[in-house]
Amino acid sequence: MISFQSHTYYIFSLIAFCLFQLIRKKDKSTLLFFINLLFIGLFFYFSKKNLLILLTYVSLSYLSIFFSSKLTSKKVFIFFQITLSLIFLSFYKYDILRDPILSLFPNLQNLTGVIGFAGLSFLSFRSLSVMFDTLYGSRKKPLNFIHYTNFLLFFPCYLSGPLDRYDRFVGDLENTDTLDSQRIYQGLSRIVLGAFKKGILADMLYDFSSDSMSLIDMQSMSVSKILLSHYVYVFVLYFDFSGYSDIAIGISNLLGVKTPENFNKPYLQRNLQNFWNSWHISFLHWLRDYIYIPLQKKMIQKGFKNFVAIACFSYFTVFIIAGIWHGGTLQYFLYGVTHGLGLTVYLVYKKILEKKLTPSLLKWYRNSSLIKVMATLFTLHYFYLSLFFFIHKMELFSIIWNKL
């Protein structure tokens, strides 16, 4: 079995890079196809039944999109594709939906486990993006099984993204330009940066973070230590996730694929809207393009005219989905609600400022360094508080309250 961020993973990536330098550029998509299949085979080495189901999902989703692109009536295949993705996500990610199925079919129990379907959420989102692009007519590149499989199973980004778009990804694979020394340097430097953030900073700080401590441990800690440990977790989360993204982007660069950026100084943003345009960027862009914008268009078509209300409702819907996407528990739902509410309040607050303040005062407000610092700290601490839901430690609120 091969695991992400192990020595074996880096050796595998190095071999893939060397092979890419030895073949003709027009053959690199075929080579990548076999490399991705080999990686997935090694990754699911001890879970061969899940590997078979994974490959079945890839094949069925491809056929669904292929036939929907050929026929005038796409609804049947689109419904099939969405249903297929939801079934897989429901069974492997949400206990509340999986448990009734297992009670009826106990023999399916051996299909679940720790390895389960690691990466299935991102796999499903990639597949659905191709389906939506086909539905809306925005996909320009022809659907090709090798390209499609590479897009879904691209090994640097398989587990946690960044999420890409089919047309952009295929365009990079079809590019026959030679990889120059500057591109190689950029790729290697991103890998080193990511390994430092994830393998050193995140790992070094994790034992001091709230996520690593049990509620029993925290009962004996002072309020200041509890709050400090949660500050540590805020940075552990950033270093771990952005470090993974840096490594994925770096390896992708070495293979000729310019994977989208995923983070852009999120903790230095002055409001939640900017924060979510800087945190897990590819995921939020997916939600924006395939849920937020279509939902707004549909509401406008239905006759809704209050654009602030439309935006607020769309924010709530998107972030509830984002919360549930992370997991099927109440805490993840509340995490999504928290950010949907925060963005709604910010949007209303922004509109009030634009109405009440004079142009000169509004300009001062936007350019004031003091306001920027205060707004940035407020945004960071709003995210800080929301992570109590994210790490499933809502009880910390009561522990801290009782200690005050």
Torsion angle of C-alpha atoms 62, 67, 70, 71, degrees rounded to 10:
-150
**DSSP secondary structure string, 310-378?**
HHHHHHHHHHHHHHHHH-SSHHHHHHHHHHHHHHHHHHHHHHHHHHHS-HHHHHHHHH-HHHHHHHHHH
Whole-number Å distance between alpha carbons of 103 and 109: 9
- What pLDDT does 115 receive? 43
pLDDT tens for the chain, 404 residues: list them: 677 778 899 999 999 999 988 887 778 899 999 999 999 998 887 777 778 888 988 998 998 888 877 776 667 777 788 888 877 777 777 666 666 666 666 666 665 554 456 778 888 899 999 998 988 878 888 889 999 999 999 999 998 889 999 999 999 988 867 778 888 999 999 999 999 999 999 999 999 998 888 777 778 888 888 889 999 999 999 999 999 999 999 999 999 999 999 999 999 999 999 999 999 999 999 999 999 999 999 999 888 888 888 888 999 999 999 988 887 788 888 999 999 999 999 999 999 998 998 889 999 999 999 999 999 999 999 999 999 888 766 677 777 777 77
- What pLDDT does 109 receive? 64
- What pLDDT does 105 receive? 65
Nearest to 250 by CA among 199, 169, 185, 175: 185
- What pLDDT does 113 receive? 52
Contact (CB, 8 A) for 260 and 283: no
Token pair of 374 as six digits: 């205060």
Whole-number Å distance between alpha carbons of 322 and 391: 15
Whole-number Å distance between alpha carbons of 145 and 150: 8
- What pLDDT does 73 receive? 67
Whole-number Å distance between alpha carbons of 16 and 155: 10
- What pLDDT does 307 receive? 83
Token pair of 106 as six digits: 């106990």
